[in-house]
Amino acid sequence: MTTSKIHSNIIFSQKVADELEKIVKQYPVGKRFLLTEETPRQLCLPQLEKLIEDYGIQVTSIAGGETNKSIRSVEKVWEFLSKNGADRKSLLINIGGGMLTDLGGFVASTFKRGMAFVNLPTTLLAQVDASLGGKTGINFNGLKNEIGVFNEPDAVIINTGFLKTIDDQNFLSGYAEMLKHGLIKNPAHWDELMSYSLENIDYDALQEIIAHSVVVKDWHVQNDLTEKNIRKALNFGHTAGHAFESYALHSGRPILHGYAVVYGMLVELYLSAKVCGFDQNQLQTISQWMLKVYGKFDITPSDYDSLYELMTHDKKNEGGRINFTLISEIGQVAINQDCSKELIFEALDFYREL
């Protein structure tokens, strides 16, 4: 499969070691570092063993899972870098899922006020969303991505071969962000996602579909890196979705990020129908498809106040009001939408009764 590029720092390649070598050799001996998590260390690092040995890359890892996206994990990596002589002319290679690339990017952005970093995402969620676009961060005080900075990686190397190491749930979690990209920007991308077989995954065909999804993400990032305007379109499904994700974690029923985004999109598609005139028939068709594929996180009306409270803490809010991105039709977004508490509860009713 040929290597192709979308934005100058996003590289699609099955020859990960070759691409990484081009970058690593630009940094001095003793200044090359690699951060990973337990699963990719076992499943993905073996194909980089020779490169790691030849270039003296110093490796550390942290435990996987959203609960480890914490300041404690950051401190562990800072300590590793400090003890091993890292400085502002060093490179940090992040190999793992979205949690790892978010955290590794934050570590690199803050250590010595900033060192270079490269992301090698190993999950679909990370390949189409988390590792791209310069959002780095960690969870804090029970709130997702509460602490972080905007800082783009020097490169993102995407290898669909890594996706053979993830389970069905993690695959679907990443697919959710692709669905979002289709809904906010590209009806043709939405159509190809609807017709792609989730039962019999064709990884060669998937590379091109991922590329289409990455184009959507990259377009929004390059036009609005720090999310002052059109990049807010990428938040579709996330205001309610992050509330579901945090509430699920608090209540001891954790769910994967992409599943939370789907549940958030169901709520926000209802709001889109009420506020922006999104087609009711499409609302029903999309909702039933998402329900069939992703199931549902069960809630009762007694959960609404907690979910609403979590939405009020969303980083995207402005002027004390909850800020939604909605869609008027597939491919047409409406950013900075304000919805009343009553309407949000009505949307939660719609979701709960699906």
What is the C-alpha to C-alpha distance for residues 184 and 344, in angstroms, rounded to an integer? 20
User: Whose CA is closest to 320, among 328, 330, 311, 329?
Assistant: 311
Domain ranges in the chain? 4-162, 169-353
Q: State how far Cα 275 lies from the chain centre.
A: 27
- CATH number for the domain whose boundaries are 169-353: 1.20.1090.10
pLDDT tens digits, one per residue of 170-201: 999 999 999 999 999 999 999 999 999 999 99
pLDDT of residue 38 exceeding 70, the answer is: yes
- How many CA atoms lie within 13 Å of 13's alpha carbon, on the beta-carbon side? 17
pLDDT tens digits, one per residue of 2-29: 334 455 689 999 899 999 999 999 999 9
Total-model pTM: 0.88
CA distances from 20 to 15, 108, 117, 236 (A): 9, 17, 12, 33
Of the listed ranges 245-249, 258-262, 280-284, 289-293, the least confidently predicted one is 245-249
Helix (H, G, I), strand (E, B) or coil at 198: coil
What is the C-alpha to C-alpha distance for residues 237 and 177, in angstroms, rounded to an integer? 9
CATH of 4-162, one of 3.40.50.1970, 3.30.2320.30, 3.30.470.10, 3.30.1020.10: 3.40.50.1970
How do strand 116-121 and strand 4-5 relate by DSSP bridges? Answer: unpaired
pLDDT confidence of residue 133 = 85
End-to-end CA distance of the chain: 42
Q: What is the mean pLDDT of residues 64-76?
A: 94
